[in-house]
Chains A and B, each alone.
Chain A
Amino acid sequence: MLATLTWRFFRRHPGQLLALLLCLSTGVGAFVAIALVNQSALSSFERAADAINGAATHRLEAQGRVLNYSDFVALKRSAGAQRAAPVLESVARVGDKRAFKVLSVDAFSERALGRSELIASVTSLTSLLDEGALQLLVSRDLALTLPKGRFALSLDGLLIDAIVAGTLPSPDLSGLALADLGGTFAALKSERLTRIDLALTQAQLQNIRLPSGLSVVAASRQDLVLRELTRALRTNLLALSLLALLVSVFLISLSFRYAWLLRARDFARLRSLGLSAKALRGYLLGEALLLGLLGGACGIGFGVLLGQLLSAPLGDAFADLYGTQTRIQFAPSAVALALSLLLAMLAAVVGAIGPLISAERSSLGDQLKRSAQESKAQIAWGMIAALVLFLSAAWLLGQTSLELAFAGLLAAALGLALLVPLALRLMLNLLGRWTFVQRTLLGGLSIGLAQRSLSRLGAALAALTVALATPVGLDLMVSSFRGALIAWLDASVIGDQFVLSDQGIRPQQVRQVQALDGVLRVHTTRHRLLDRTTRPYELMAIDASAERMKTFQLLSGRVDFERFARGDSVLISEAFAAKRRVNVGDSWRLGASTLRIDAVFRDYRSEHGVVAIASARYRELYNDPLISSLNLITRPNAGLSVANYVATQPSLRLISRAELKATSLKIFDRTFALTDQLKYLTAALAAFGVFAALLALALEREGLHARLHALGFQRGQIHALNWLGALGLALLSGVLAAPLGIILAKLLTEVINQRAFGWSYALRLSAMPMINAMFLALAATALALLAAQWLSPNRGASLRAVRE
């Protein structure tokens, strides 16, 4: 009989079922999308790592000199390194398109290492030799963008002919091309290597005899950089999944509250007829599970679509941030889908608990009083919960762990959300005291109705406010970070033009550049990644000139120029200081020397941290004469002579200051592109919440509208009353979103960024994100109100005269 009641109710009001399923599936969809992207991204990373690294356990790298193919030959001749494969990694570019990586490998050696994907691919290349053009097997994304037929390819700065010979079989790879090592050697007219991959047992590692200047480091998936990447990925996506899950449960809760509110009088009738609370609870729980199953199934479909949309920008963001060659292959497993469905049903039950308690307490006669009673209880409990959340947030944000800081941010956001209904009530009370509003019939009535509807709308408006505050906070954080990055690039990057090389610039080349016409001064920089298998950081060796030292933006300490130039001290970046817990006056060990830390400087180039040392001391310690980049200070119009010189040097690249800045900002913008999409998703979810709440309110006001109409209110006046109330509350939510957004931005910049990257920058306030939030609030509410009016069961009937 109860099932018949439910079935008939939804058959009479199909719009309500649609609205309920829409809210359920949107909530579930958002969570499922992020969870599935998370799972797909991790498996894609692992598959890509397997495809590239295969059985390699270690890699051989050159220290202070160039690694050549002859080193590989020498290694093969020595005992204990039979399973080795030479690899050359080059940076390639076609025109001004995005750069990609070319991995040149040797098919015969790959066979020894057992990397089947690479063997199959390169074997097909060697059988398709085309004279004069370097043949490339490219990842699927590159296949779409690279020209058909022969094209000019800039490979490590040298312009050569290339041709796409096929596509790499692995769908997980992106921004990667494979070439035969012999072909690349011929094209570059050099037998230089980046590394030699090795498959070694522990015993072989002990016995290996290395050519001089070479060192063995751990490779493959054990590589710390990759581990750091997956950890960062997990943390970021876990935080997003949790946020989506919270929003989903909230939306589901709103949906049930709304659906059961419509039938509250039926529940009260059943209770008065003697249906026990337990029986009603059991029945409603069953209904929640069934609807959870239905909504979950729809939500999974929606989530899969959304997940596909999110995969590409996520892959791009990680490619830019970490230089991975992974395309996120969105292919959720059946197990993941089944688990998502189970989670959806669980979320439906959790979301249904609150509305269930209200529903089972239904009794006739209490129905009209419910709103007022609920709102008082809600305020009291809301304030207690907010206090508990703020205390938890304060404790969590004080911890050093990034994960705990994220949890703290979430707790703070929830705490603030709980205070929103109270703040709205206060604002409405203030507005109500405004004489102008009091004197206007519609104004006074709207304020009164809005105050009374807060118990129904409060939760939805809190969600809307937080959903609006999130983009405000993110926008403020991103724009402040962007501003700080521009200021830092302007102040800390010295030079008009930059000569770069992935293989290293030889001292002779440095002298040749210094001698070029129009070149006034040259500053040198050598980058070296240290401790890459344990806790990597970057050593930056610079020429210790007064002009160069002025580019450091010191946050603490001061530079003793003489001591730095002598090589007795180092400067450390803010991130390094934060992650290693060292500061001015402490010492840092490099090789056999212990150097004093003189100062901490601002730096946004590496989240692992940077240690700056004088070039002379660096060369002494590491016996490395190469330079990574040259910062040139030139006379106007000196560009041509430098460009002419670089064109004759295959390993060198030239970029201007404007290009460097533009590239840095482009990468920055691409990194935060995903944030943009997520913030609109959050706003859309909030709009669904407001829609569900307004739909419930429309039903609650059926009687009121009829009474107003009976008293002589025109239809237009009643519509105006609805619009005034809803848009007024949305506007107040938009206003509240501004301070909330600033608090979130403050926490993001001063806690989350510090924990995640060790970078600090000042929060810069701007009005635009807040104005956007206001418009977004109004637009979301207007759309929600239109939809609610259209789907309302009393549409058309709401203005009937009062019955009986």
Chain B
Amino acid sequence: MLKLEAITKRYRGVAVLDGLQLLLEPGSCSALLGRSGSGKSTLLKIMSGLERPDSGTIWHNGVELSALSEAARTAHRRRHIGQVFQFFELFDELNVWENLILPLKLNDMPVVPHELDALLERVGLLEFKARFPDSLSGGEQQRLAVLRALVHRPALLLADEPTGNLDEDTARVTLELLFALAREAGTTLLVVTHAVEVCQYTDQAFTLSQGRLKAVAC
């Protein structure tokens, strides 16, 4: 469960998040909608522990994230949170296989090749496992990024505009894959997006406006 209580964050005196509240049940899939500059990325950074709120508390799976040191937040993120980005953020110097196993290596988790091969086959990347990201299409790169975010079975998956850089068809395939894998793994998923059509895959949706969240009907 992810719980945010009275989160406030200010930049140069302007409140980007202002007493924000949020509760995400385990295994739920949610969408966060909002205009550019509304504070969506700041909220994601706070949820992932990259930034601290000015005030308020964040609880994740019984851990008060906002009370942890930077090192402890990093350790928590490493084990319990996966992230997908708009620009994929794959390592150009590592091939598909190496990119995929990186979270496992970071968490000292076993690498089981046949399980990973099955995952790669499912997303159509098995034959590309020795190739480097810059030789893949945008859709292939984002599918790999989704796999990488989930490979160590995190409790929470945060996706920041995961389809913002893809064409309509590729975006649809990627979203289907993202939600399917998250639901199968029982991972709590929060997708930050401009695209209202994402709501068709989610259990709930919110908009961020004037520093607060408001539930919207999908």
Contact = CB atoms under 8 A, between A and B. Distances in A.
Nearest to A263: B93
A12 B132 CA distance: 12
Question: Chain A: interface residue count, which band?
Answer: 20 to 34
B78 A274 contact: yes
Contacts of A278: 71
Q: Which has the most chain A C-beta neighbours within 10 Å: B70, B81, B92? A: B92
A277 B72 CA distance: 11
Contact of B74 (A5, A271, A804): A271
B106 A277 contact: no
A742 B33 CA distance: 62
A265 B105 CA distance: 20
A275 B78 contact: yes
Nearest to A266: B91
Contact of A804 (B87, B90, B93, B98): B87
A272 B138 contact: no
Interface string B73-96: 011011101010101011111100
B181 interface: no
Contacts of B91: 5, 266, 269
B151 to A, nearest CB: 11
B154 to A, nearest CB: 9
A274 B75 contact: yes
Given A4-B98, A363-B50, A276 B74 contact: yes
B41 interface: yes
Contacts of B78: 273-276
Chain A at the B interface: mostly helix, strand, loop or mixed?
Answer: helix
Interface in B94-132: 94, 98, 102-103, 105-107
B163 to A, nearest CB: 13
Interface in A254-282: 265-266, 269, 271-278
A364 to B, nearest CB: 7
A268 to B, nearest CB: 8
Contacts, number: 64
B41 A365 contact: yes
Contacts of A804: 87, 138, 165
B45 to A, nearest CB: 7
A376 interface: no
Contacts of A273: 77-78, 83, 102-103, 106
B106 A272 contact: no
A272 B50 contact: yes
Interface string B28-46: 0000000000000100010
B173 to A, nearest CB: 17
A384 to B, nearest CB: 23
Contact of B98 (A1, A269, A276, A277): A1
Given A365-B41, A804-B138, A274 B106 contact: yes
Contacts of A266: 91, 93
A8 B92 CA distance: 9
A354 B216 CA distance: 47
Q: Which has the most chain B C-beta neighbours within 10 Å: A272, A274, A363, A804? A: A274
Contact of A277 (B70, B102, B138, B165): B70
A364 B51 CA distance: 12
B174 interface: no
B48 interface: yes
Contacts of B71: 276-278
B53 to A, nearest CB: 16
Nearest to A9: B93
Chain B at the A interface: mostly helix, strand, loop or mixed?
Answer: helix
A274 to B, nearest CB: 2
Interface residues of B, number: 29
Nearest to B158: A272
Contacts of A12: 92-93
Contact of B94 (A5, A271, A276, A277): A5
B165 to A, nearest CB: 5
B89 A272 contact: yes
Q: Which has the most chain B C-beta neighbours within 10 Å: A4, A273, A364? A: A273
B93 A5 contact: yes
Interface string A346-364: 0000000000000000011
A272 B50 CA distance: 7
B55 to A, nearest CB: 21
B83 to A, nearest CB: 6
Given A277-B71, A364-B89, A804-B87, A272 B48 contact: yes
B16 to A, nearest CB: 13
A618 to B, nearest CB: 80
B130 to A, nearest CB: 13
A804 B87 CA distance: 9
A62 to B, nearest CB: 80
A274 B79 contact: yes
B93 A8 contact: yes
A1 B81 CA distance: 20
Given A272-B50, A276-B74, A277-B71, A365 B93 contact: no
A364 B93 contact: no
Contacts of A274: 74-75, 77-79, 81, 103, 106-107
B60 to A, nearest CB: 14
A431 to B, nearest CB: 29
A4 B165 CA distance: 28
A602 to B, nearest CB: 63
Interface in A520-558: none
Nearest to B45: A365
A194 B77 CA distance: 85
A4 B81 CA distance: 24
A397 to B, nearest CB: 43
A301 B203 CA distance: 67
B111 to A, nearest CB: 11
Q: Which has the most chain A C-beta neighbours within 10 Å: B48, B71, B87, B106? A: B106
Contacts of B90: 269
A269 B133 CA distance: 14
Given A8-B94, A9-B93, A275 B74 contact: yes
Contacts of B45: 363, 365
Nearest to B164: A804
B75 A276 contact: yes
Nearest to B44: A365
A363 B74 CA distance: 12
B59 to A, nearest CB: 19
Interface in A1-31: 1, 4-5, 8-9, 12
B114 to A, nearest CB: 21
Given A272-B50, A273-B103, A274-B74, A4 B93 contact: yes
Nearest to B95: A8
A606 B83 CA distance: 76
B93 to A, nearest CB: 4
A275 B103 CA distance: 9
Contacts of B98: 1, 4
A213 B171 CA distance: 108
Contacts of B75: 274, 276
A362 to B, nearest CB: 11
Q: Which has the most chain B C-beta neighbours within 10 Å: A9, A272, A275, A278? A: A272
Contacts of B92: 12
21 contacts: A1-B94, A5-B94, A8-B94, A9-B93, A12-B92, A266-B91, A272-B83, A272-B85, A273-B77, A273-B78, A273-B83, A273-B103, A273-B106, A274-B77, A274-B79, A274-B107, A277-B70, A278-B71, A363-B45, A804-B87, A804-B138
Nearest 3 interchain pairs by C-beta:
A274-B78, A8-B93, A274-B77
Interface of B: 41, 45, 48, 50, 70-71, 74-75, 77-79, 81, 83, 85, 87, 89-94, 98, 102-103, 105-107, 138, 165
Interface of A: 1, 4-5, 8-9, 12, 265-266, 269, 271-278, 363-365, 804
Given A8-B94, A804-B165, 16 more contacts: A1-B105, A12-B92, A265-B89, A266-B91, A269-B89, A272-B50, A272-B83, A274-B77, A274-B107, A275-B106, A276-B71, A276-B75, A277-B74, A278-B71, A364-B85, A804-B138
